[in-house]
Amino acid sequence: MRVATSLVLGNKASPTLVAEAVSNAMLKADITVASSVLLLLTSEFADDPQPAITAAAKAANCTQIFGCSATGIFTEEDWVLDSPAAAVMVFGGDVSIQTAKHYQPDQVLLTISAPNAINSTWLNDGNARYGGISGDAVGQGPFSVWQNAKGGNTGKVDAHIVGVKLATKASHGFKMLTKPKQIQQTNDFDIALLDNKSPLIALQKAWKSYSKSNTPIPLHLMMAFYADSAEAINHGEFNQTNLISIDEDTGSITLAQPLNVGHFLSWGLRDQIVAEADLVLTTQQLTQELGSVPAFGLLFSCLGRGPFYDGIDHDLKVIAQLLPNMPLLGFYGNGEIANIAGKNQLLPYSAVLSLFAEDSGS
């Protein structure tokens, strides 16, 4: 299998920079013609990505160029933010990326989307998906998505990688603070009664027990996990949403999306140590599922993870330690896509890792 990556930085967003990245990766892969290229560019390219895409196609001698622009991009060797850069993964031989034209239930799709192109009908059209959302933390910055060496009007990529077997999973990295409790009363986006009690009192008690202090609840780190049953949450088969505000007078909590009476809910906390440990477990599980050493990987990580904790991308560090020298490509986005319990979900603050190995039966 001939797959390799390259990351090149420059002083400005130029096609030359992109061509250099593709040429470097092809040299590593020992190929002169690529079957396809996954091209990721920083946001400096977003307003007019076509010259860069064309440069990649010429350097690779192919038109199967897929990818997007993003706030930050990375390979197994390094990551880049706030500087013009191109990260590429080139494919040769029998491995390639192909546009998904005819949907098949057993076809797991590589999915890249702009924030304004997402809709629930497309997200759950019968195909399992993995991928990420390009753009900045609030989905308002410059972004662009392309396939077949052209910027697309649809704002999304639906593709599949042929010639490989795939194992993919989302790593959340949250610490559960409370056991699942059933919602008894809601008011639009507000949770008014949880287990027949004030949801705020339960959250305050859980936070005080965890922090062992009287410091205010860090709402920006808090998450709500919900599902149709307590068992689903306990098994990791849950949906997630953010906390927006608390009302100390009524004891209610406002979430980023409305939930239904009857749902079960747990409060949780984003935690760097837990996130790192969970990604270790996820990487080990995916490697075991493949049944062989992964040949390459794709990682779609939230802008709120990686180097945004303390200036070190612990996700990349974990994967490099467990799978040294494995080609890896990815970007930091404002949403991750994974199939959980048979349903595609748009996740916050997660990392979706996909590992690939040669498919002897292909």
Residue 151 identity (one-letter amino acid): G
**From CA 173, how far away is CA 254, in angstroms rounded?**
23
Q: What is the pLDDT of residue 151?
A: 62
- Asked if residue 162 and residue 34 are part of one domain, the reply reads yes
pLDDT digits (tens, 9 = 90+) for 343-362: 898 888 889 999 999 887 65
- Asked if residue 44 and residue 148 are part of one domain, the reply reads yes
Q: Are strands 156-162 and 96-99 parallel, antiparallel or unpaired?
A: antiparallel
pLDDT digits (tens, 9 = 90+) for 31-65: 999 999 999 999 999 888 999 999 999 999 999 99
Mean pLDDT by 10 residues, the chain (362 residues): 95 96 97 96 91 96 94 94 95 91 73 87 87 73 77 78 94 90 96 95 94 91 93 88 93 94 94 88 96 96 74 86 96 91 87 91 56
- Asked if residue 32 and residue 136 are part of one domain, the reply reads yes
Q: By C-alpha distance, which of 262, 334, 246, 351 is closest to 298?
A: 351
State the chain's maximal CA–CA distance in angstroms: 68
Measured at the CA of 351, the angle between CA 117 and CA 317, to 5 degrees, comes to: 140
pLDDT digits (tens, 9 = 90+) for 315-343: 999 999 999 999 999 999 888 999 988 88
> Cα-atom radius of gyration of the chain, to the nearest Å?
21
- Asked if residue 20 and residue 107 are part of one domain, the reply reads yes
- Domain end marker among 239, 270, 301: 270
Q: What is the pLDDT of residue 273?
A: 85
Q: What is the pLDDT of residue 2?
A: 94
- Asked if residue 37 and residue 141 are part of one domain, the reply reads yes
- Asked if residue 262 and residue 139 are part of one domain, the reply reads no
- Structural domain including 182 reads 175-270
Q: By C-alpha distance, which of 102, 11, 25, 8 is closest to 61?
A: 25
In this structure, what token pair is assigned to residue 43?
Answer: 């946001």
- Asked if residue 89 and residue 163 are part of one domain, the reply reads yes
- Domain end marker among 246, 270, 294: 270
Q: What is the pLDDT of residue 172?
A: 85
Q: Which residues pair with 303 in a beta bridge?
A: none
Q: What is the pLDDT of residue 208?
A: 94
Domains of the chain: total? 2
pTM above 0.75, yes or no: yes
Strand, coil or helix: 258: coil
**From CA 209, how far away is CA 244, in angstroms rounded?**
22
- Asked if residue 228 and residue 181 are part of one domain, the reply reads yes
- Asked if residue 330 and residue 259 are part of one domain, the reply reads no
Q: What is the pLDDT of residue 313?
A: 83
- Asked if residue 89 and residue 221 are part of one domain, the reply reads no
Q: What is the pLDDT of residue 274?
A: 87
Q: By C-alpha distance, which of 57, 68, 42 is closest to 90?
A: 57
- Asked if residue 111 and residue 14 are part of one domain, the reply reads yes
- Domain end marker among 255, 270, 285: 270
